[in-house]
Each structure stands twice: as structure tokens, then as C-alpha cells.
């Protein structure tokens, strides 16, 4: 066993696929997944490169332990986001992730550069790849997967082809998505319709890792989080958010939704025709039937397309989610785009027959966004749709209609941070824009009395830990629960088997997570990100009007103090830029290039 030591580089402009060795120092310090993808982006992308231009890099990354970890196998799509203009890492699980890891063999990633003049696909197997023409341009994600039924498929739908800046990379016929930030639009701009994985599923390379994986999988199934996931996957999120008054409803106008019972976990159980992986201890999401075929609603589907749009019919919400899945568009950004249009129509700024509570109008808007016909809104000004394809921020700027919060131009998920200030800090400091996956302190903060120090500690700890887990690339839930065991035990076995100097202590792993988070910050500050980009949107300074959190708001002055505290603990300056001392401590001083600024410590910064 020699481990994963190479990457495949596909140059779509030249039509070539070549193998190259990853520097051992990179493998040891950035591991794989998010970390390795970030290292390649920082090394190879010039500042201000066009995310939809041929010079952008799109990486399909696995980790050094892919196939050997408990829980669902996952892969990372890493690129510069066309929605936010900063770093993007997005993750998906399922069969494609398993077979991608097997197809890459001893490789940690497929790096895609350049752009093809004609639609192509990349076929992978045995650590090799080839670029071939793709006749499936124009097909949706289900149709594209069906055309390659003998392999595992990750592809774009019409949304990616039409440069919707929140288009997804869909896998397993739209059941899984590398969803947020527009990696699908990057694929579309490159002329890349699909990546086809023809290899077998990745498996543990030796018996020690196989035994370790199986024992930890059993432990996770018996863990509280494992039992929660087995019972309801993420669908209970909408019930929780509604209960605590943090459920963004009808375009962020309210904090609770009267229709939660109709679209929540109980409704899903009643409508379900099965589970994703019925034979597994943690069986995955609920399968439900729609007129367009089966779909697997997630928590974000019910929160954003249900409560967010005021739709209280489970079948209608599931159908909207299935529509997004087939077209290859992120449900959170798409739902917020429809909500913005409903608010703009209500305010008289846009002439559109789009209202909250109308799933047919929502479906029509989503189809139009993806470039499909929708007769019910044919009279809508095409300029509105074209602008909304660039995101809510672009539409708000052009038509002077706000109300939908974003961070770094990414629309927020439906956890309203006014009910838990720590969540506002998590959104504001997220490295890819408004994202709840980097840290979710709301799940604990609403049940306690937290200080600013508690909020800062919770957010930083989660961001650092997940940077490590997503570099492995580990299952979100199993990895979070088994963090110490996953890191230390697995890497000790891997280091012994390969002879590679992987980190094998808890302190070393924590340092790797912090190093990777800070490297991404370097990439972002080189793109111009600073303190002003870590702010909370103005709408969140207005109080919630209903429910248990009524009256709650983000105080800008208090949040500024909270952000100062976060920067201090991170070792960044008041402007949000890592200091030289921090870069030295994390071994990043020699990585930083001359175009990336260095922060001044708080004691030396002008007050």
C-alpha cells in the first residue's frame, strides 16, 4: 500500500489528461479534499481570474482515507465561485463519491482546467482518464445519468449549461448535489457535461483499516447523532427551527411557519415510499414519488421551498425540490430567488404574478431560471430572469429591492440568526459565503445563555474541525461525532502502512484544520475580502416580528465587538487578514505570495 500520491489533470482546451505527483509536503499538511483543493487553487489561480473563464480550476477531490471511513463516502468540488467570487468547496455523497474514489485509484483529485469548444465528458477508471464528446448537452440530470447506466455519473443540468451562478453538480440521477456556490456553472462554462466514474467502489486497502472502519460505523449507529440521522435524516431541521422561532418564512418576513406540520418530518414519513439505503443502520433520506419521478427531500428543501415560499403542501414542496434536482440548481439559492421575486412583485417593483404560497409560480420561475419554458410567467421581463441567474444580490442591486439576506453574495439558509447571535457570526465568517455547514451553534445556543466568548469558541471550533473532516473527506455527521477517533486512529494506521508522515496526534490534526481554514482565508483576502465582507446584512438588524424569538435582532455595534473577538482568537488583524505571526505558527509564511496582504496585530492596528 502506497497511498494516494497523484492527481489527474484534465486540460479541456488541449484535450489531454495527465498524471502528476502531489508534493509530499502538500499531502502531509493539507491531506486531501478541501485542504488539497485549496492549496492547488491558491498556487495556480491568479487574483481576479474569471470564475467562468478557462483559467479557473475545478477540482473533484477525495481524501487519503476515502473508502476507509465510517458513514457515507463523499467527494469535494473545489473551485472559485461564480456566485461569490471567492473560494468554494461543495460536497456530495452517494454512489458517485464511492466510485470516484475507486476510479481515481492512487490519485487524490481530478483537476479540470481550460475549456472545450464542444460539449465533453471525462471518463475515469484505474487511475486514468480520457476526454470524449458528450451528446447529452441539454439533457437534465436524470436523463444524463440514464444515458450512462453502466457507470456512476456526476453531471450538470440545464442550469449549469445556462450559467446560473448557483447551478449544482448533480450525482446519482439528482439524488445528491455539490450544491452551493455554482460549481455546476463552472462545469458548464468549461463545456464539461459530466464526469463518469467506471471504477469499482473504493475499499479499505488493508485489514486494519477495514476493522477500524467497521467498529466505528457500529459506534456511530449507536450514537445519539447516528440514531437521530437514522430516524429522520435532516428533515427534522424545519421542526426545530420553527419551534425556536428561527425559521425564515415567506422571504424572511417571519420567524415561524403555520404549515410546518404539513411539510415536516411526520409528513415525510407518511409520504415516503422507502429510504435511500434501507439495509444500512443509517438508511439515508426518505424517497417520495412526484409526477416527475422519485425525489429525496432534505431539510433545506422543506425549509427554503416550503416555509421560505409559504408553501404548506408536502407533495408540492417535494415536487419543487425534484424540479431543482433535475435542472441542477441549488434549492437554497433558487428558493431565495423566488422569494425575492415575490417580494419585489408585492412591492410593485417588478411586474410578475409570483406570490407566496403558490408552488406553480415557483416552479415556473425555477424552470425559467434554468432556461426551460414556463408559460405561466411568459410575460415576465427576461432581464429579471437573467439578473436573478446571477443571484439575489445582483437582482437587489439592479432593481433596488432588498429583504433577502446574503453574506459574500451567497443567500442564507433558512436558519434565522437573529434567534441566535452565534449563528450570525458563523454566517458572517463562513469562508464560502452564507453557509450553515461550516458551523451551526444555533443548535445549542438557543437552549442556553451564551456569552460572546462561548459563541466565538463554538464557531471557531466547528470551522476548524470541519476543515479537517472535509479534507479527509469524511461523512459530515459520522465525522463530527467520531472526530477524535477518525483523525488519530485512522491516520496512525495510514502512516504505518504508507510510511508517509501524516499527522497522528490530536494537536497535529487540530493544527491541520486551522492551517487549511487560514489558507482559504489567504485565498479570499487576495481576492479582496476584508472585514466589510464579514458583516451581517442590514435586514438582520431589524427585529423578528413573530414567534418565540419575536423582537430579536442583531445589534451592529455588539456584532462588531463579537467580530473583533473572533479575529483576535483566530490571530487575524482588525481588518480580518491573518497576521504574520499566525502564518509563521501555522507554517504558511512561505506559502503566502506577494499579492496577498498580511494583517496587523490588534495591538499595532490603528484604533
CA distances, 344 to each of 333, 360, 370, 378 (Å): 16, 18, 20, 17
Residues 31 and 174 grouped into a single domain: yes
Residues 331 and 386 grouped into a single domain: yes
- Report the Cα–Cα distance between both ends of the chain, in Å, rounded: 55
Q: What is the mean pLDDT of residues 278-296?
A: 85
Is residue 206, in this structure, part of any structural domain at all?
no
Mean pLDDT, all residues of the chain: 92
Residues 352 and 424 grouped into a single domain: no
Estimate to the nearest angstrom the gap between the alpha carbon of 481 and the chain centroid. Answer: 19
Is residue 215, in this structure, part of any structural domain at all?
no
Q: What is the mean pLDDT of residues 429-458?
A: 95
pTM (predicted TM-score):
0.95
For residue 564, give the CATH number of its domain.
1.10.599.10
For residue 337, give the CATH number of its domain.
1.10.569.10
- The cell for 572 is 487575524
Q: What is the mean pLDDT of residues 430-451?
A: 94
Residues 337 and 362 grouped into a single domain: yes
Residues 404 and 434 grouped into a single domain: no
Whether residue 406 has pLDDT greater than 60 = yes
Q: How confident is the model at residue 503, as a pLDDT?
A: 75
Q: How confident is the model at residue 607, as a pLDDT?
A: 43
Count of CB atoms situated within 10 Å of the CB of 46: 8
Is residue 202, in this structure, part of any structural domain at all?
no
460: domain range?
411-604
CA distances, 513 to each of 253, 420, 460, 518, 528 (Å): 37, 25, 10, 9, 23
Contacts of 544 (CB under 8 A, 6+ apart): 245, 254, 255, 416, 418, 419, 550, 551, 552, 553
Widest pairwise Cα distance in the chain: 66
Residues 430 and 360 grouped into a single domain: no
Q: Are 125 and 103 a contacting pair, CB within 8 Å?
A: yes
Residues 600 and 478 grouped into a single domain: yes
Is residue 172, in this structure, part of any structural domain at all?
yes
Span 545-568, pLDDT tens digits: 999 999 999 999 999 999 999 999
For residue 33, give the CATH number of its domain.
3.60.9.10
- pLDDT band for position 604 (50/70/90)? low
Q: How many helices (H) and strands (E) does the chain have?
A: 26, 17
Span 452-505, pLDDT tens digits: 999 999 999 999 989 988 998 888 887 766 555 556 776 777 677 666 667 778
Q: How confident is the model at residue 1, as a pLDDT?
A: 47
Contacts of 5 (CB under 8 A, 6+ apart): 21, 22, 27, 106, 108
- pLDDT band for position 103 (50/70/90)? very high
Chosen domain end from 175, 197, 219: 197
User: What are residue 293's DSSP bridge partners?
Assistant: 290
Residues 401 and 419 grouped into a single domain: no
Share of the chain above pLDDT 70, in %: 96
Contacts of 358 (CB under 8 A, 6+ apart): 311
Residues 169 and 125 grouped into a single domain: yes
Q: Which H, E and C letters describe 5-69, residue by residue?
A: CEEEEEECCCCEEEEEECCHHHHHHHCCHHHHHHHHHHHHCCCCCCCCCCCCCEEEECCCCCCCC
Share of the chain above pLDDT 90, in %: 75
Chosen domain end from 173, 197, 221: 197
- pLDDT band for position 518 (50/70/90)? very high
Based on the number of CB atoms within 10 Å of its own CB, is 398 exposed (0-12), middle (13-18) or buried (19 or more)?
middle
What secondary structure does DSSP assign to 396-421, as a single string?
A: HHHHT---S-EETTEEP-SB-GGG-H
Residues 370 and 434 grouped into a single domain: no
Total domains in the chain come to 3
Amino acid at each position: 500500500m502506497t497511498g494516494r500520491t497523484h492527481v489527474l489533470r484534465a486540460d479541456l482546451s488541449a484535450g489531454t489528461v495527465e498524471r502528476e505527483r502531489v508534493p509530499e509536503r502538500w499531502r502531509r499538511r493539507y491531506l486531501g479534499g478541501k485542504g488539497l483543493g485549496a492549496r492547488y487553487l491558491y498556487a495556480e489561480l491568479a487574483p481576479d481570474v474569471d470564475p467562468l473563464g478557462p483559467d479557473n480550476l475545478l477540482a473533484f477531490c477525495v481524501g487519503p482515507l476515502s473508502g476507509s471511513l465510517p458513514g457515507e463516502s463523499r467527494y469535494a468540488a473545489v473551485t472559485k465561485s461564480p456566485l461569490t467570487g471567492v473560494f468554494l468547496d461543495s460536497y456530495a455523497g452517494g454512489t458517485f463519491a464511492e466510485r470516484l474514489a475507486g476510479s481515481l485509484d492512487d490519485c487524490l483529485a481530478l483537476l479540470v482546467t481550460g475549456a472545450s469548444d464542444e460539449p465533453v465528458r471525462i471518463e475515469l477508471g484505474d487511475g486514468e482518464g480520457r476526454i470524449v464528446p458528450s451528446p447529452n448537452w441539454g439533457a437534465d440530470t436524470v436523463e444524463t445519468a440514464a444515458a450512462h447506466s453502466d457507470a456512476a455519473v456526476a453531471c450538470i443540468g440545464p442550469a449549469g449549461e445556462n450559467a446560473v451562478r448557483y447551478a449544482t453538480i448533480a450525482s446519482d440521477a439528482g439524488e445528491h448535489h455539490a450544491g452551493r456556490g455554482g460549481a455546476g456553472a463552472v462545469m458548464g462554462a468549461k463545456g464539461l457535461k459530466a464526469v463518469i466514474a467506471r471504477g469499482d467502489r473504493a475499499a479499505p486497502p488493508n485489514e486494519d483499516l477495514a476493522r477500524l472502519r467497521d467498529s466505528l460505523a457500529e459506534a456511530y449507529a449507536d450514537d445519539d447523532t447516528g440514531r437521530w440521522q437514522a430516524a429522520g435524516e435532516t428533515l427534522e431541521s424545519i421542526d426545530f427551527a420553527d419551534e425556536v422561532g428561527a425559521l425564515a418564512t415567506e422571504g424572511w418576513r417571519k420567524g415561524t411557519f403555520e404549515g410546518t406540520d404539513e411539510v415536516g418530518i411526520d409528513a415525510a414519513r407518511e409520504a415516503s415510499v422507502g429510504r435511500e439505503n434501507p439495509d444500512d443502520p443509517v438508511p439515508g433520506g426518505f424517497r417520495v414519488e412526484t409526477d416527475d419521478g422519485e425525489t429525496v427531500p432534505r431539510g433545506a428543501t422543506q425549509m427554503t421551498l416550503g416555509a421560505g415560499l409559504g408553501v404548506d403542501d408536502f407533495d408540492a414542496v417535494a415536487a419543487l425540490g425534484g424540479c431543482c434536482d433535475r435542472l441542477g440548481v441549488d434549492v437554497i439559492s433558487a428558493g431565495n430567488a423566488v422569494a425575492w421575486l415575490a417580494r419585489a412583485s408585492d412591492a410593485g417593483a417588478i411586474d410578475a404574478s409570483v406570490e407566496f404560497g403558490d408552488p406553480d409560480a415557483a416552479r415556473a420561475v425555477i424552470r425559467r431560471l434554468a432556461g426551460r419554458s414556463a408559460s405561466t410567467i411568459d410575460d415576465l421581463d427576461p432581464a429579471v430572469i437573467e439578473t436573478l441567474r446571477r443571484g439575489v444580490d445582483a437582482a437587489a442591486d439592479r432593481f433596488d429591492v432588498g429583504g433577502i439576506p446574503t453574506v459574500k453574495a451567497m443567500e442564507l439558509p433558512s436558519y434565522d440568526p437573529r434567534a441566535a447571535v452565534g449563528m450570525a457570526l458563523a454566517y458572517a465568517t463562513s469562508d464560502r459565503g452564507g453557509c450553515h455547514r461550516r458551523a451551526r451553534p444555533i443548535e445549542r445556543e438557543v437552549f442556553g445563555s451564551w456569552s460572546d466568548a462561548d459563541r466565538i469558541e463554538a464557531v471557531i471550533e466547528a470551522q476548524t474541525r470541519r476543515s479537517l473532516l472535509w479534507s479527509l473527506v469524511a461523512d459530515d455527521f459520522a465525522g463530527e461525532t467520531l472526530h477524535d477517533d477518525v483523525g488519530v486512529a485512522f491516520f496512525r494506521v495510514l502512516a504505518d502502512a504508507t510510511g508517509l508522515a501524516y499527522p497522528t496526534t490530536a494537536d497535529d490534526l487540530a493544527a491541520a484544520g486551522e492551517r487549511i481554514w487560514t489558507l482559504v482565508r489567504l485565498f479570499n483576502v487576495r481576492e479582496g475580502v476584508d472585514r466589510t465582507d464579514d458583516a451581517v446584512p442590514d435586514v438582520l438588524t431589524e427585529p423578528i416580528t413573530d414567534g418565540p424569538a419575536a423582537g430579536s435582532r442583531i445589534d451592529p455595534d455588539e456584532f462588531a465587538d463579537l467580530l473583533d473577538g473572533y479575529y483576535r482568537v483566530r490571530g487575524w488583524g482588525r481588518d480580518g487578514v491573518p497576521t504574520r505571526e499566525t502564518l509563521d505558527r501555522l507554517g504558511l509564511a512561505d506559502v503566502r505570495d506577494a499579492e496577498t496582504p498580511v494583517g496587523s496585530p490588534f495591538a499595532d492596528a490603528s484604533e
